[in-house]
Amino acid sequence: MTCARTIIGNYIKQSLDFLAWNEGWRGSDVSEDILIRLKAAVVKYDVEQAVALAKEVLATGFDPLKAIEEGLGEGLRVIGEQFEAGEVFLPMLMIAAQAMKESLVILEPALTKGTSRKVLGRVVIGTVEGDIHDIGKSIVAAMLTANGFAVYDLGSDTPTAKFIEKAREVDADLVGMSALLTTTMTKMAEVVDALKQAGLRGKVKVLIGGAPVSKAWAEKIGADAYAEDAIAAVDAAKKLLSK
């Protein structure tokens, strides 16, 4: 009898523990689950699933920037590491990037929704010459737009002269540059020098970013700031233009 009571008691306790755990999981953060699924979609090169999840992000009111940076972006980071280790090859890297890009088409308009009418400054932004990576640069451009900057996006593989020409044309306050390759980050120094030579450096601030870039690199080439992500880029732009 005592034995039967112990077995039933244990069974009830385990069931209650399970219910508490299940409730805790559901209550704690169903939303975090979408980050895991977004990351997995990129890591599995599943473009369709990534797009479906991007739509789910909007439908559920989940933070689109968090979805981009902590979901899709994390997936790309993993693929990048696998690529570096020789575990995946370029075509797979391209499909993973496609999953991110197609999802961005859906998520980016949600980033720029809160655009304020007062323009905080004019920003010319682009990925430097020889570099076709444009995902991070586009996120930064969208976030700057959302935060009230007028953004002129030159795209990727942007010749140095194009930065200068556009900065002059729109009377820019800030030039933002992105580089993802160690072989192209030197182009950032070229743009800083060209701005000086064009007599624009007194007025135009320079902000840089991208995986191989750092604060030390910004200091070395005479840029005004380095930003590690889109939120830091907005903060830096606001600080630089309020000086």
Contact residues: ligand HCB, CB under 6 A? 69, 73, 76-77, 79-80, 83-84, 90, 93-94, 97, 130-137, 139-140, 176-178, 180-183, 207-212, 227, 229-230, 233
CB 206 within 8 A of CB 192: yes
Which residue shows structure tokens 């976030």?
Answer: 143
CA distances from 101 to 47, 91, 155, 198 (A): 9, 15, 14, 35
Cα–Cα distance measured from residue 120 to residue 240, given in angstroms and rounded to the nearest whole number: 11
* Shortest Cβ 107–ligand HCB spacing (Å): 12
Nearer to ligand HCB, 69 or 190 (CB): 69
CA distances from 33 to 18, 36, 56, 139, 231 (A): 19, 5, 12, 22, 23
Residue nearest to ligand HCB (CB): 136
- Give 86's DSSP letter: T
Which residue shows structure tokens 């890591």?
Answer: 43
Nearer to ligand HCB, 9 or 212 (CB): 212
Burial letters for 57-67: b for 16+ Cβ neighbours within 10 Å, e otherwise?
A: beeeebebbbb
- Give 147's DSSP letter: T
